[in-house]
Amino acid sequence: MPKLMERVSYQFIQEDDDFTRKEYYETCGFHLEIGVNPLSDLGFGTTVWEAALALCQYFEKEKIRFWNKKVIELGAGTGLLSILTALLGGDVTITDKPELLKQIERNVSFNLSPSFKHHVKIRALSWGCDHILFPSDYDYILGSDILCFPENIPLILDTLLHLSNENTIIYFGSNMSYGRPLISNGYVILSQYFETELVCRYKASDVNIYRMTRKTPTAGGLLQW
């Protein structure tokens, strides 16, 4: 049974407007340094969530690399997953709410040398609203723990349909303990438009990893959950 990767260590920070501590993770041969602020009023995007760790670990286990691939992450939060994806060769667009972009920029600066930074764009994206300002030619779309609220699911669906094409691979991670019926229903809705496969499960942490691709127009039926 695979065990979810854990934080290696952490260090408290004094007199920092953005972060209260730095957390350190090791995955895919990289040592990642991520600033967090669990007490911030900015909400869910200021901590590292288990689904992001699960996706990092899955990329390591499957030896997935992103050389010359165009990647976008939805709801990136601290930016941990996108930073790893850039280190694995991807040209990555990191997106979240405008108020979270500063902390993402700082975490990118902690981990990526100037030679890597031209592979990263940091942009605000409001699901179901300004997604039309982004292209539809991404090779990969990533998301971790973004199906937790029912009102967001149709917005995420609209966003995915715009950003993806028949060649796009989508990896979503979800901690099912946050609301299994709700999250499962979210995947049922997405499965009307995307072939959806559970590719990895971290049972002890109740985290699932799903791989999705666009259905062809003739494909029909819902997956059973």
pLDDT in tens, 131-161: 999 999 999 999 999 998 999 999 999 999 9
Query: Binning pLDDT at 50, 70 and 90, where does residue 1 land?
Result: low
| Burial (0-12, 13-18, 19+ Cβ within 10 Å), 63 | exposed
d(CA 165, CA 152): 21
Q: What angle do CA 47, 52, 55 make, to 5 degrees?
A: 170
Which residue ranges make up each domain of the chain?
44-214
For residue 103, pLDDT over 80 is answered with yes
CATH homologous superfamily of 44-214 equals Vaccinia Virus protein VP39 (3.40.50.150)
Predicted pLDDT of residue 218: 52
d(CA 105, CA 100): 9
d(CA 114, CA 225): 45
Share of the chain above pLDDT 90, in %: 84
Reported as a single tens digit per residue, the pLDDT across 184-195 is 999 999 999 999
Reported as a single tens digit per residue, the pLDDT across 19-53 is 999 999 999 999 999 999 988 888 778 999 999 99
